[in-house]
Amino acid sequence: MNVTYKVYDKIRALAGSYEMYRNGIKWNVVFRNGEVVRGRIEQTDNPPE
């Protein structure tokens, strides 16, 4: 699942990969020039809403 996410918690990112853990959810997000160009979410506890 490839989804574009907004940048959370005022994260200013350079190009690269980041892992953010929020509410027990693993977020794999790729940034380019400070913008989220690709994102993958792994939901293990609850089904996506």
**Strand ranges for the chain from DSSP E:** 16-22, 25-32, 35-42
Residues 1-49 have pLDDT tens digits of 445 555 544 454 544 455 555 555 666 666 666 566 666 655 445 444 4
For residues 38 and 1, give the distance between their C-alpha atoms in angstroms, rounded to a whole number: 10
Contact present, 41 and 25 (Cβ < 8 Å): yes
Please report where in the chains the tokens 């940048």 appear, as a residue. 7
| pLDDT at res. 37 | 60
Length of the chain: 49
Claim: this prediction has a pTM higher than 0.75: no
